[in-house]
Amino acid sequence: RRSHMTVSYTDPQMSMDLLRAVLQPSFNDDIMAVFRKYQKFFEKAAQNVKENVGDDVQTDQLIKDTCRNVLEHAKQLFPEGDVKKSGPEMTIKRSRPIDEDYI
Amino acid sequence: RRSHMTVSYTDPQMSMDLLRAVLQPSFNDDIMAVFRKYQKFFEKAAQNVKENVGDDVQTDQLIKDTCRNVLEHAKQLFPEGDVKKSGPEMTIKRSRPIDEDYI
């Protein structure tokens, strides 16, 4: 059981993720508060979709899918491999914009 | 080229995603404001990591990775396939501590 708990405290990602895990509940509250601002738009849109497409549309699920998509797209605020100031080598493996293959 | 622009306005996901795309910039502003609240923690942690691990640690990148992870984990606020069919509202069920299965 003990080995299960062993983590490397010198692994940078792991260290940062321990902090992330601690902050996540608070983050989630804040992010949820943001989503509440937009909830009425999503509800209205989902209701429209349901009226246009049919009653088998699950508006709940549609809204949740959309919320997850919002979060996915928000990742572009923190682009990967955007090596700006630190480090001598420029490993810019700029991944393509998330969106291109989406729509 | 025109066919490239053709979208089905009766596709539920597509309709919702058009709305998402419209709201995304505003969402991003709000989400960025949330992250600013926590930035000092991330910076401190990344700095610690750099001191412990070595100068080749790119704190910028480490922080961005962590921010993307926060967003990824926040998706659990909107679980997939949670088919409860409970009316038009986003069921804001305060989920259990997100991390249980992570560490």
> What ipTM did this prediction achieve?
0.72
Residue A97, pLDDT > 70, answer: no
Q: For residue A68, what pLDDT is reported?
A: 98
| Among the partner residues A24, A39, A73, nearest to B98 by beta-carbon distance | A24
Residue B88 DSSP symbol: S
Estimate to the nearest angstrom the gap between the alpha carbon of B93 and the chain centroid. 18
Tell me the helix, strand and coil percentages in chain B, rounded to 5.
Answer: 65, 0, 35
Q: For residue B54, what pLDDT is reported?
A: 85
Mutation for testing the A interface, residue in B9, B26, B27, B94 having most A CBs under 10 Å: B27
d(CA A70, CA A76): 11
d(CA A40, CA A49): 14
d(CA A55, CA A73): 29
Residue B82, pLDDT > 60, answer: no
Query: How many degrees, rounded to 5, is the angle at CA A98 between CA A30 and CA B71?
Result: 20
- Number of residue pairs across A and B with CB atoms under 8 Å? 201
Q: For residue B7, what pLDDT is reported?
A: 56
